[in-house]
A and B are shown apart, each in its own frame.
Chain A
């Protein structure tokens, strides 16, 4: 058996990666499915992003009166121009990277996205965004249903989830998505080195190949084992990636670096999923200068900018679209503890080398009674159904019919981001 191998030792455990015949076979499947072509990177802001402090109507006096301790001063925002309703907008000062992308014309800011009767529950809210079904949020996810449309056999890495648990959006009855938080630890560990370690891997793969007739629960576990072992080598290729930029040292940027590696190494995944948390800013979120929310913006903006430049440097940007969303936005007025409670509609961001950047939709205006608000002017009222953004991505980016996937026609009114 001719193998190339790398062995690492950690805590006395050798981890082995090797290239066998299987990967080229799998790559053939990937190629047959039109990969590598366009890809979608989904970024979930966990906890409910305070969109009013992400994209700021900094000339709206009510913004300052209703958010006295957390408003970002007009002089600090990164100006992005005026929207269709004449509102002059600016990005949070820590989003310098996103402002650069905006100025390159590659960042679309879709204002007031959401749905009627927005859920205030994190669980239900994220399930609704995941299923694309505000009426019943317990079924499969919109991206899982997209994967279901791909030809069979489905490439095991058709999608790549960088988080530990499978998010609702990627759930599907027939298309499993591997959870690969970190490509460099997604390896086969062994107490031995050299030949013995390689032989263990062969044995483990053979054992997992047992069909377990009459024991479907065991077969299920074998599928998971096999799915892991069979994707190890391709994942290892991603882990051996050297980026063209220095990514910030945090988990979110690390996951983007992993994704960039997968893209650069031609892994061929169509959908990548990552997340950055801490957005449930009920207290002491801070304003423009510093504080918890400014740190969140820094993590988001710096990470995305590194990723964007890294892909651009390698000519990989034109085939990459990134979409950023959260399960809800937050209340218009700050609360008694210098934070904001669960709200309704917010900003979605779509960025990438083929995106038509700009301000889409109209901004909320925060003076009480304004029709862009709801719930006694406590919350932002949605203007663009989030499913129409999904529809645009499915129809115009991933090249599939959005109607069956979204169980409805949401193409009308979709922002023309592509």
Chain B
């Protein structure tokens, strides 16, 4: 007895982060098609989530570190930035925008530590999370991903190539005429677009030369000191004098006439080299297929391998729409693969998905998001700190005894923090263990429980003998039940 039509519950877990009790009314009268439109065409929903930070009826945030004088500073403190993003995922009225931001964060995986090593803690955070408004400097990488969440992939790829965080992360800043640097040139093909098997080592050298001169310019007040000026910044700078101007030939077509060579250009026109390569990579059919396979894992199933018909269908929509992502995602969410009931709970929740969904479903009263960071690290996912440029190891790779225990113990933390709230909101069920279990299963949404686990839950509720119906019994058992349900294996599937 799910709270909404099971198809919409499924949609909200996949295209969002689950649903809180407060959000039920938003979706309960919608058809599936209306719900898809509500999520996909999110410009119609207010982008007011950051303005709600600090409200008592929302999850709480706290300044993580002292150095900002106790002020919550998500533009310049990475731990505060982590809290702001968690807050957005829990409370945004545009959940698919945040979900796709997360997808791009993994796809263009950029790690804070290296940025902080090279630029200091403050600038490292700003490079990733700066939301323009108060401080000077370009927007942080995550704001770029939010802006392009369902935007045009080719444009996103170009912006990523110029994104200061990416330029530092993949050493574009040292990519100069005398010493072409291969790091970005390799990854834009291996990880961001076509994938292994569709480019050659000489393509890597050529791509490195294409991006020579795509460097950074620090502002005059910039220092790489941990506590440097918060208004300082680095921005993208095209340096014609550092561009290597000779012709670059690839193993795949660069232009629509099939030609594979970017002809030698003068310094001043050399920026076009990068545009030409990005256009070619974005429109490459293997990029379309590779994105389709990643979307399969993200939206459809990690248990079944991608259906070739799905891959071709998605690739076609992507190419026909000139790399626009919105029609691709609309196609996926309304496809028969998405609505196939056998694909429900066929993904392994990322730690961030698991944590946000459990908070949304159990409650967030007085829960500080500063407290979720170290449990998430123990589960293997610290936001803004992917293990390397290939992103996190997804699927079953999230799970070991240690990470499973970390998830179960986070369940205990959430249940403990919501003890009184759970008891109050479940007060009508005080008279019956059956009613309590049924209502709890209406609120938290694990994959279907077999008879054995259901029995174990009922045994737990009645472990002291018959249900007595006291307030203290309800308080104890409701939180214990929440802990067991959020911490069980079935709940790790999404």
A residues within 8 Å of B by Cβ?
Answer: 11-13, 15, 123, 164-166, 176, 178-181, 185-192, 195-196, 199-200, 202-204, 206-210, 212, 215, 217-218, 220-222, 224-225, 227-228, 231
Distance (whole angstroms) from the CB of B177 to the closest CB of chain A: 19
Enumerate chain A residues within 8 angstroms of B399, measured Cβ to Cβ. Answer: 220-221, 224
Interface size on B, residues (CB 8 A): 50
Check A181–B416 contact: CB distance below 8 A: no
B387, B419, B452, B457: residue with the most chain A Cβ atoms closer than 10 Å: B452
Q: Is B224 an interface residue (CB 8 A)?
A: no
**A164 contacts B403, C-beta separation under 8 Å:** yes
The 8 Å CB contact of B484, one of A13, A166, A200, A215, is: A200
Say which residue of A179, A200, A222 sits within 8 Å of B489 (CB atoms).
A222
Contacts A189-B412, A190-B412 given; indicate if A207 touches B488 (C-beta within 8 A): yes
Q: Please name all residues of chain A whose beta carbon is closer than 8 Å to the beta carbon of B493 when the two chains form the complex.
A: 217-218, 221
Q: Looking across the interface, which residue of chain A has its beta carbon closest to that of B405?
A: A228
Whether A195 and B463, one on each chain, are in contact in the complex, defined by CB atoms closer than 8 angstroms, is yes
Q: Are B412 and A191 in contact (CB under 8 A)?
A: yes
**B303 within 8 Å of A by Cβ?**
yes
B492 CB contacts on chain A under 8 angstroms: 221
With A11-B371, A179-B403, A189-B413 as contacts: A207 and B480 at CB distance below 8 Å:
no
Further contacts, 11 of them, CB under 8 A, given A188-B409, A199-B463, A221-B348? A165-B387, A179-B402, A189-B409, A195-B464, A200-B460, A203-B456, A207-B484, A217-B346, A218-B490, A221-B404, A221-B489
A123 touches B388 (CB 8 A): yes
Of the candidates A179, A220, A222, A231, the one having the most CB atoms from chain B within 10 angstroms of its own CB is A179
Query: What residue of chain A has the Cβ atom nearest to residue B400's Cβ?
Result: A179
B416 x A210 contact (CB < 8 A): no
B17 smallest CB distance to A (angstroms): 20
B357-416 interface (Cβ within 8 A of A): 371, 378, 380, 387-388, 396, 399-405, 408-409, 411-413, 415-416
Bound-state CA distance A217–B304 (Å) is 11
Contacts of A15 in B (CB 8 A): 409
Determine whether the beta carbon of A231 is less than 8 Å from that of B452. no
Tell me the nearest residue of chain A to B409, going by C-beta: A189
Q: Which partner residue on chain A sits nearest B483 by CB separation?
A: A191
Do residues A191 and B480 form an inter-chain contact, with CB atoms below 8 A? yes
Interchain residue pairs A-B with the least CB separation, the first 8? A189-B412, A179-B402, A221-B489, A191-B416, A189-B409, A206-B456, A203-B460, A191-B479
Asked if B44 is an interface residue, CB under 8 A from chain A, the answer is no
Least Cβ distance of A345 to chain B in Å?
25
Cα distance A192–B480 in the bound complex, in angstroms:
7
Chain B nearest CB from A69 CB (Å) reads 20
CB distance A231 to B416 under 8 Å? no
Q: CB-CB < 8 A to A204: which residues of B?
A: 408, 484, 487-488
Q: What separation, in Å, do the CA atoms of A224 and B346 have in the docked complex?
A: 18
A371–B396 alpha-carbon span in the complex (Å): 48
Of residues 303 to 324 in B, which have CB atoms within 8 Å of A's CB atoms? 303
Sampled A-B contacts (21; CB under 8 Å): A11-B413, A12-B417, A176-B401, A190-B483, A196-B476, A196-B477, A199-B480, A202-B460, A203-B457, A203-B459, A204-B487, A207-B488, A208-B488, A208-B489, A210-B450, A210-B452, A217-B303, A218-B493, A221-B489, A224-B403, A231-B401
Specify which chain A residues have a CB less than 8 angstroms from the CB of B348 in the assembled complex: 217, 221
Q: How far is the CB of B466 from chain A (nearest CB, A)?
A: 15
Known: A123-B388, A191-B412. Is A207-B453 also a contact (CB below 8 A)?
Answer: yes
- Which residues of the partner chain A approach B463 to less than 8 Å between Cβ atoms? 195-196, 199
Q: Decide: A189 near B408, CB < 8 A? Known: A195-B463, A200-B460, A222-B489.
A: yes
Q: Report how far A220 CA is from B453 CA in the complex, Å.
A: 16
Bound CA span A166–B387, Å? 13
Q: How far, in whole Å, are A116 and B404 apart by their CA atoms in the complex?
A: 40
Q: Mark B451-494, 1 if CB is under 8 A from A, else 0.
A: 01101110110011000000000001101101110011110110
The chain A residue with its CB closest to the CB of B485 is: A207
**When the two chains form the complex, which single residue of A12, A176, A186, A207 contacts B416, counting CB atoms closer than 8 Å?**
A12
A123 contact set on B, CB distance < 8 A = 388
Q: Give the docked Cα–Cα distance between A225 and B456 (Å).
A: 15
Q: Nearest Cβ in chain B — how far from A115, in angstroms?
A: 22
Task: Give residues in B with beta carbon < 8 Å to A.
Answer: 302-303, 346, 348, 371, 378, 380, 387-388, 396, 399-405, 408-409, 411-413, 415-417, 419, 447, 450, 452-453, 455-457, 459-460, 463-464, 476-477, 479-480, 482-484, 487-490, 492-493
Q: Measured between alpha carbons, how far is A413 from B417 in the docked complex, in Å?
A: 61
B453: chain A residues within 8 A (beta carbon): 206-207, 210
In the complex, which residues of chain B have a beta carbon less than 8 angstroms from the beta carbon of A220? 396, 399
A187 to B406, CA, bound (A): 9
Q: How far is the CA of A166 from the CA of B487 in the complex (A)?
A: 22
A123 to B453, CA, bound (A): 41
Q: Tell me the complex Cα distance, A200–B482, Å.
A: 11
Name the residue of chain B whose CB is nearest to the CB of A157.
Answer: B401
CA distance A218 to B404 in the complex (A): 13
Q: How many angstroms between the C-alpha atoms of A206 and B453 in the bound complex?
A: 7
Q: Can you name the residue of chain A whose Cβ is closest to the Cβ of B456?
A: A206
A227 B401 Cβ-Cβ under 8 A = yes
User: Is the pair A207, B415 in contact by a Cβ cutoff of 8 Å?
Assistant: no
- Residues in B with CB closer than 8 Å to A180 are 401-402
Alpha-carbon distance A123/B346, docked complex (angstroms): 30
Known: A11-B413, A206-B456, A218-B490. A166 touches B480 (CB 8 A): no
- Asked whether, in the complex, the Cβ of B488 is within 8 Å of the Cβ of A13, the reply is no
Q: Please report the C-alpha to C-alpha distance between residue A123 and residue B393 in the assembled complex, in whole angstroms.
A: 14
- The reply to whether A207 and B402 form a contact with Cβ atoms under 8 Å apart is no
Q: Could you say which residues of chain B place their CB within 8 Å of the CB of A212?
A: 450, 489
Q: Would A209 and B452 count as touching, CB distance under 8 A? A: yes
> In the complex, which residue of chain B has the Cβ closest to the Cβ of A199?
B463
- Which residues of chain A are near B404, meaning CB under 8 Å? 221, 224-225, 227-228
Q: In the complex the two chains form, what is the Cα distance from A221 to B302 in whole Å?
A: 14
What is the CA–CA distance of A202 and B455 in the complex, to the nearest angstrom?
12
Contacts of B489 in A (CB 8 A): 207-208, 212, 218, 221-222, 224-225
Contact partners of A221 in chain B: CB under 8 A: 348, 399, 404, 489, 492-493
Cβ 8 A contact of B405, one of A186, A203, A217 = A186
Q: Is the CB of B378 within 8 A of A228?
A: no
CB distance from B136 to the nearest CB of A (A): 29
> Which residues on B sit within 8 Å (CB–CB) of A215?
447
> Are A164 and B450 touching (Cβ within 8 A)?
no
| Interfacial chain A residues near B413, Cβ < 8 Å | 11, 13, 189
Q: Are B402 and A196 in contact (CB under 8 A)?
A: no
User: With the chains together, A11 CA to B456 CA distance in Å?
Assistant: 27
Contact, CB under 8 Å: A196 / B480: yes
Q: Considering the chains assembled together, what is the distance between the CA atoms of A318 and B70 in angstroms?
A: 53
CB of B480 within 8 A of CB of A13, answer: no
When distances are taken between beta carbons in the complex, the residues of chain A under 8 Å from B455 are: 206
CB of B310, distance to nearest CB on chain A (Å)? 19
Q: How far is the CA of A194 from the CA of B388 in the complex (A)?
A: 43
CB-based contact A191/B419 at 8 Å = yes
* Closest CB in chain A relative to B221 CB, distance in Å: 24
Q: What's the least CB distance linking B117 to chain A, in Å?
A: 10
Complex: A87 Cα to B314 Cα, angstroms: 65
Which residues of chain B are within 8 angstroms of A227 by Cβ–Cβ distance? 401, 404
Q: Give A162 Cβ to nearest chain B Cβ, in Å.
A: 10
Bound-complex Cα distance A178 to B380 (A): 14
